[in-house]
Amino acid sequence: MVQSFKGTGSQMLKATLLLSSFILMFFFSNPVKAETRSIDELRNSVVRILCYATDGGIYTGSGFAVGSSEPVRHIVTNYHVVEPNLDGVAILLSKEDQIEAKVIAFDMVKDIAVLELSQDLYKRPPMELGKIEDVKASQEVYALGFPGAADLINDTPSGEPDDVTITKGIISKISTQGGRGIFQIDVAINPGNSGGPLVNANGQVIGINTFGVTIASGINGSVKVNELIPILESRGIAYLTGTNAMTGEGKEITTGTSNSLWWILGIAGAGIFFLLIVVVLFVVVFRKKGNKTSHVPNHAPAPAPVSSPLVQKPMLNGLSGYFAGQTIELDQNYLSIGRDAKQCQLVFPLQTEEISRRHCTLRFDKASQTFTIEDSSSNGTYLQSGERIPQGKVTQLRSGDRFYVSSTENMFEVRLESR
């Protein structure tokens, strides 16, 4: 019996070696392609945008380069970044160097604008646009841009690549809001980095950073990049994709996806090879010694799960309008709603003129577990019943109560949720 198994073990060993050889040949016979740029190197493709308003103010935002190769002539950003004055836009390269830009296409609903530079821009390579179909909730992402808060570190704003900030996070929800596809992310988006790219781990753009709050969490949003592609194609603007192809000329570009795949296959093949060798040797030695030890299963009861106490979290739910389907956690003691990003944490687009610059302020008292709201608007803040909240008077709300700003098209609900 032992002698018979010796032959079987030898055959299994030979089969294992043959299979492993095929795996290793399959891995090493494929050429290694050039890697994509690292996330840090993507800073070179991000620019700071200046918008000189007619009232003398200067608005800042971020954008990223698109095209087939260097030099580039086109920049993508948010519409609200250039909305104060479409004829007063420039790209800030350094503290002393600016390039004028013309807004050649925009979509107010999707909050996207495409700029054409007055001259070629070198050393700012175009970014790859990724596949939206491959994006999943909980996926790791990176937001790049020039947040306004970062300017406090410097004397004056700068547009140099070293000043681009990179913030890591995940996609928490994929939805459609206000006629546009949205990635809800936990990456903080501030007024200065609006219009910057949201990229996946391969460095491909999957979204355009659009809106966010500074105090509440969970309401940061990025417009899906597939909303941009029809605008580029309608203007005949070439762009790179993550599938080794380039729109327009059909020229291939190299990505690091295949290279990463072969590394994964190689590691998996080596792991299978090692595991099979161990199994074969174990069985041969075990049979040679004639061991017939039986395995006694361990029926020890699993420890009882320890339940953690539920915590009531104050939440603001958008029921209709610009923030429909969005959920905001009030992790601070107040949240102001309006159109002015300097005064408010939940910011409506500038073109929604029925909303005041600071329309109302919502507060939550942890001690009493109650909400209060105070109106400071022209068009009013109302309870769901239609009763107008007196301006300047603090009104108490209970969990489940609803209110709207200006009209019922902008309805919200406050709620305590167990987390």
Neighbouring-strand partners of residue 330: none
**Cα-to-chain-centroid distance, residue 300:** 45
| Backbone CA torsion sign across 335, 340, 341, 347 | positive
Neighbouring-strand partners of residue 184: 173, 221
Whether residue 67 contacts residue 249, with contact meaning beta carbons closer than 8 Å, is answered with no
Whether residue 332 contacts residue 213, with contact meaning beta carbons closer than 8 Å, is answered with no
Catalytic-labelled residue, pool 45, 62, 74, 80? 80
Catalytic-labelled residue, pool 111, 359, 377, 406? 111
Catalytic-labelled residue, pool 158, 194, 336, 377? 194
177-181: which pairs have CB atoms within 8 A and are 24 or more residues apart? 177/221, 177/322, 177/323, 177/324, 177/325, 177/326, 178/109, 178/321, 178/322, 178/324, 179/109, 179/110, 180/109, 180/110, 180/111, 180/223, 180/224, 180/227, 181/132, 181/223, 181/224, 181/226, 181/227
Cis peptide before 71 (omega within 30 of 0): yes
- Within 10 Å of residue 366's Cβ, how many Cβ atoms? 10
120 in active site: no
Interatomic CA distance for residues 90 and 98, integer angstroms: 6
**CA 175 vs CA 112, 400, 413: distances in Å:** 17, 23, 19
194 in active site: yes
97 in active site: no
Could you list the active site residues?
80, 111, 194
